Amino acid sequence: MKILAIGDVFGKAGVACVAEKLRAVRAREGADLTVVNAENCAPGNGMDYRGAKALLDAGADVLTGGNHSLRQSSAFQLMEEHPSVLRPLNFPDAAPGKGWCILPAPQGLRLLVINAQGQIFLDATIDNPFNTVERLLEKLQGQYDFAICDFHAEATSEKAAFAACFDGRISAIWGTHTHVQTADERILPGGTGFLSDLGMTGVEDSIIGTRAEQVVRYYCTHVRTRYEAAEGKALLCGAVFELSPDGGKCLSVRRIRE
């Protein structure tokens, strides 16, 4: 079983890139399921109905989110319409949407998809992601066969610790949020496939998706202006995780950048 995970889709350029490339990449890789991080697919930031719906129409099976997921109220309707449009599990219970879904997988298997968010350098007020995910796995015991997780976090140490904590219990764990693809893909001792960050799907000649000159100006002057999305050639970044149907151990992790 192959899982295609696509990193943070940024703005109109990122959505257009997914619409152009996703189906071809999915077919080439033989992916059974595609998970796309959509928390910044709206113009400006956040996830909006139009951008998220375009990603679903382009072939995404699950949309995951992060700290900007709830900035656009139009996304709330989509979360109600599509149980596979997620926001971080450890947001308050009263928040729109939910942080997990269970989907059918090949050979009659059931795949649990989790979206969680880190606390370090990001938001210490949300629930602890380690404890929250632990409670979810216990609650859903017997209702799924394998689990995978998008862990949206800033610190690579928190991402690595999260993966180590759930090694052997969650088949594939990848990080999102930093918009920079890491080169540390590996299979942990318990059989979990891990990559610290999938990278960004958006304009290559940018600073994490925004116009470089605006970010440079801020660092040189400390005068903040509203950042604008960059324009130009967009890259699709992510990874393919191959899982064994017998036990759910990860067999391989391979980055994608194209």
Residues serving a catalytic function are 68
Whole-angstrom distance, CA of residue 45 vs CA of residue 185? 28
| CA neighbor of 199 nearest in space, from 1, 2, 3, 5 | 5
Whole-angstrom distance, CA of residue 160 vs CA of residue 188? 10
Collapse the DSSP code of 163 into the 3-class scheme (helix H, G, I; strand E, B; otherwise coil) and give the result: helix
CA distances from 96 to 73, 85, 117, 128, 198 (A): 9, 11, 15, 19, 26
CB atoms within 10 A of CB 108: 8
Task: Assign 3-class secondary structure to 40-76.
Answer: ECCCCCCCCHHHHHHHHHCCCCEEECCCCCCCCCHHH
Collapse the DSSP code of 88 into the 3-class scheme (helix H, G, I; strand E, B; otherwise coil) and give the result: coil
Whole-angstrom distance, CA of residue 15 vs CA of residue 43? 10
Across-strand partners of 253? 241
Whole-angstrom distance, CA of residue 243 vs CA of residue 8? 23
CB 123 within 8 A of CB 87: no
Can you list the alpha helix ranges (DSSP code H) found in 74-120? 74-81
